[in-house]
Amino acid sequence: MADVNAIQAAIRANGTNRRAIVENAMPMMQPLQTQQIAGTVTTSNNVLTFQPRLTGLLLGFLIEVNATVNNAGAATANRTNGGALNVLSRVTFTDLNNFTRVNTNGYHLGLLNNVKNTRAYGGAVAPNLPYNVGNVWTVNSLAATIATGATPALRQFFYVPIAYSAQDLTGAIYAQVVNATMQLQVTINAAPGVVATDPLFAIYSGATAANSITLSAVTVTVTTFYYNTATPKGGAFPLPIVDLSRAYLVQDQTANLTLVANTDCNAPFANARTFYSTFAVYDNAGVFNTGSDVTYLKLQYANLLAQWQLNPQTIALLTRNAVGFDMPPGVYYLDHRAFPISTQAWGNAEIDISPSSVTAGAFLGTWYEMVAQENTIIQASSLG
pLDDT digits (tens, 9 = 90+) for 113-164: 999 998 899 999 888 899 999 999 999 999 999 999 999 999 999 999 999 9
Angstrom distance (rounded) from CA 258 to CA 130:
56
Angstrom distance (rounded) from CA 315 to CA 189:
31
Least confident of 11-25, 87-101, 129-143, 369-383: 369-383
| pLDDT over 80 at 12, yes or no | yes
The pLDDT of residue 337 is 95
Average pLDDT, whole number, for the chain? 93
* Percent of the chain with pLDDT strictly greater than 90: 82
Q: Are strands 193-194 and 204-205 parallel, antiparallel or unpaired?
A: parallel
pLDDT class of 211 with cuts at 50, 70, 90? confident
Distances (CA, A) of 213 to 186, 202, 317, 332: 20, 10, 36, 29
Domains, the chain, in order of start with CATH, read: 16-120+140-242 (2.70.9.30), 255-383 (2.60.120.20)
Angstrom distance (rounded) from CA 144 to CA 83:
9
Mean predicted confidence (pLDDT) in 320-324: 93
Q: Which residue has better confidence, 1 or 257?
A: 257
Q: What's the predicted TM-score (pTM) here? A: 0.94
- Residue 66: name the closest of 265, 222, 196, 245 by CA: 222
Mean predicted confidence (pLDDT) in 223-247: 92
Mean predicted confidence (pLDDT) in 250-278: 91
- Residue 73: name the closest of 155, 142, 146 by CA: 146
The pLDDT tens digits for 13-68 are 999 999 999 999 999 999 999 999 999 999 999 999 999 999 999 999 999 999 99
Mean predicted confidence (pLDDT) in 297-306: 88
The pLDDT of residue 30 is 97
- Cβ atoms of 228 and 59 within 8 Å: the answer is no
